[in-house]
Structure 1
Amino acid sequence: MIVITGGAGFIGSAMLWELNRRGEENVIIVDDLGFTTTEKWRNLSGLHFADFIPIELFPGLLERNALEGISAIIHMGANSSTTETDADHLLANNFGYSKKIASFCMQHEVRLIYASSAATYGDGSNGYSDAIEGMAALRPLNMYGYSKQLFDHWAVKHHILNHAAGLKFFNVYGPNEYHKGDMSSVVYKAFHQIGEHGVLNLFQSHRPDYRDGEQSRDFVYIKDCTRIMAWMLETPSATGLFNIGCGTPRSFNDLAAATFSALDRQILINYTPMPESLRDKYQYYTCADITRLREAGFSETLTSIEDGIREYVQHYLASANPYFDYTKPTSNA
């Protein structure tokens, strides 16, 4: 039996889809569906799982060893808002909750795959290496990133990462992210903005070494993320921290062009001034160093933004049913 925390969320529900398409339905979902306005329940409606457990009940069930037969926990549950200011809330949800799950996995020899974050890299001035030896030099820019970094340090100290895999997701885009609001991907926002106005707004560059729209990110399609996680379930020797990205930075202009192309529309971009409150914290470049992932044995080709955006836009965002389910394409773009 596999447990997915945050299983109704973006990456969690996508992973449930991945397991379903591989024939695995003995899955427990742990989550909080929240107010009905979020409609996260739709992420689960076309998928199959054995049971649903509220997040507040799950740690107690683990402590009493009330859930028999757990082979792996995929811990994606967290408050992922980079603008959250309640530090105590983030520590409880992203640090304390994760410690309880990791302790159970260590005690019972259960495979643990958990979400760290690329937010731990801060402004990137210390690079994007996922080697544990460089962790101490990282300086996150927000409390969310710090809460993830705290758990990574704790996991190293308590030898969790000798047996578990912590995943530092870069800029993930794809189906089932609609409920994330301001935290949804640029692709999702671009699709709706182009559909409503015919033009896409991008930030101007405020650095002389970058032209407008040439700020770059490592964009990774959600189906690549789930393929990697499925491989990690089958490869317990893959332990430690791993960047989850394509290893190839692409500009926002590239992303815009791919989105307009998928919509069969002429490219129309409006470059707007970046708010001054963001200028000192804005990342002009991110790139996942995926050397460790490749050395661990994951050799599959990752999806280009042109192919990923085309599938996402045409088969999901432009569809009457934009969620993961069995009627959607199962081939990776």
Structure 2
Amino acid sequence: MIIVTGGAGFIGSNIVKTLNEQGRTDIIVVDDLSDGKQFYNISDCDIADYLDKDDFLQRVQLDDGLLDDVEVIFHEGACSSTTEWNGKFMMENNYEYSKTLLHACLEKGIAFLYASSASVYGGSDVFKEERRFEKPLNVYGYSKWQFDQYVRQLQCTYPDKVFPSQVVGFRYFNVYGPREQHKGSMSSVAFHFNNQLKDNGICKLFGGSGGYGDGEQRRDFVFVGDVVKVNLWFWQNPTQSGIFNLGTGNCQSFNDVADAVIKWHGEKGLQGSKSYTPFPEHLKGAYQSFTEADISALRAAGYTDAFANVEQGVFAYLDWLNA
């Protein structure tokens, strides 16, 4: 049995769908469907059962046998809003919940693969899995960073600093791709550019800021298909544990994303262009103009597959999004 928390969310539903394609349907999806529209993400997936996230946590705490035959938990469930400032809610939902699942997995020998975030680097200009570069700027980033710290500290309490079962954290960079439409304003720029071009023929970007030209702010954009591949590779390589950046290792500009969207639609006969709006005053000094994952630890662990660049990933995404 496989459990995917946040299984009706963006990355979680892509994991579920890929597992289906590999012949696995013995999957329990755990999520919060208060936003009922999220069910669309798993409406084409085959699963064994669905559990509400609160009911699932209660059953884990009661140790009622639910986890007895579970091989792995992909823990993708979290509040991922960087604009949410209710710290009590964020720490209960992201931090305490994760601690409970971690300990249950360690007690039962279940692989635990969880979502961390590149937001733990916040104000840093170096993106490497070391304490000195970790500077979260919001409570979401802090909740993810504090759990990473808990994992590190707990690991040191075991003989030879080795967990009894696999524990892997993935610091996701700017993930984009299918099944993210429910995220609204938090959806990727590729999603928004696609809608803007279809609505009025123009992709809207920020003007220059912080020494970067118009639309030239740069991020490590990683296609969700690659994110799923890395998750599943680690599960199939159970001797590998740790906290790893999950990005491409190469940054590209927002212009590159818009150009890819425009090119894809141009090949379908719909012409588009770009426009730039002045960089918002309220974001100056609080905006990451550059991210680029250092993936040396990921490569050292043995993951060798190439990552899609922006044009490759955007084309695959728009093929799905506009089908």
CA contact (8 A) 2:119 2:136 kept: yes
1:123 CA drift (Å): 2.2
Matches within 5 A, 1:54-69: 54-65=52-63, 66-67=65-66, 68-69=68-69
TM-score by length of 2: 0.93
What letter matches 1:251 in structure 2?
Answer: S
1:267 CA drift (Å): 4.8
Deviations 1:57-92 (A, max 9, x none): 112212233212011110000000000011100000
Length, aligned pairs only: 311
Q: Does 1:84 align with 2:88?
A: no
How well do the aligned residues superpose, as a CA RMSD in angstroms? 1.3
Matches within 5 A, 1:196-275: 196-207=199-210, 209-264=211-266, 265-275=270-280
Partner Cα separation in structure 2 for residue 293 and residue 176 of structure 1: 25
Which consecutive unaligned segments of at least 5 residues does structure 1 have?
Answer: 320-333
**Which residue number in structure 1 is paired with residue 109 of structure 2?**
109
Q: Does 1:306 align with 2:305?
A: no
**Which residue number in structure 2 is paired with residue 128 of structure 1?**
127
Distance 1:136 1:150, change over 3 A: farther
Match of 1:185 among 171, 183, 188: 188
**Which residue number in structure 2 is paired with residue 169 of structure 1?**
172
CA contact (8 A) 1:74 1:114 kept: yes
Partner Cα separation in structure 1 for residue 54 and residue 132 of structure 2: 32
Which consecutive unaligned segments of at least 5 residues does structure 2 have?
Answer: 157-161
Deviations 1:263-310 (A, max 9, x none): 114451111112111111111110011111111111111111111111
Deviations 1:149-196 (A, max 9, x none): 111111111118843100000001011000001110000000001110
% of aligned pairs identical?
Answer: 39
**Which residue number in structure 2 is paired with residue 327 of structure 1?**
none
Q: SS in structure 1 opposite 2:297?
A: helix
Deviations 1:114-151 (A, max 9, x none): 001000000223x1002xxx225411111100010111
What letter matches 2:263 in structure 1?
Answer: S
What letter matches 2:189 in structure 1?
Answer: V
**Which residue number in structure 2 is paired with residue 21 of structure 1?**
21
**Which residue number in structure 2 is paired with residue 94 of structure 1?**
94
1:35 CA drift (Å): 3.1
**Which residue number in structure 2 is paired with residue 35 of structure 1?**
35
Q: Does 1:149 align with 2:145?
A: yes
What letter matches 2:192 in structure 1?
Answer: K
CA contact (8 A) 2:208 2:215 kept: yes
Q: SS in structure 2 opposite 1:57?
A: helix
CA contact (8 A) 2:265 2:272 kept: no
TM-score by length of 1: 0.91
What letter matches 1:271 in structure 2?
Answer: Y
Report the more deviating stretch, 77-86 or 299-308.
Answer: 299-308
**Which residue number in structure 2 is paired with residue 44 of structure 1?**
42
Q: SS in structure 1 opposite 2:54?
A: coil
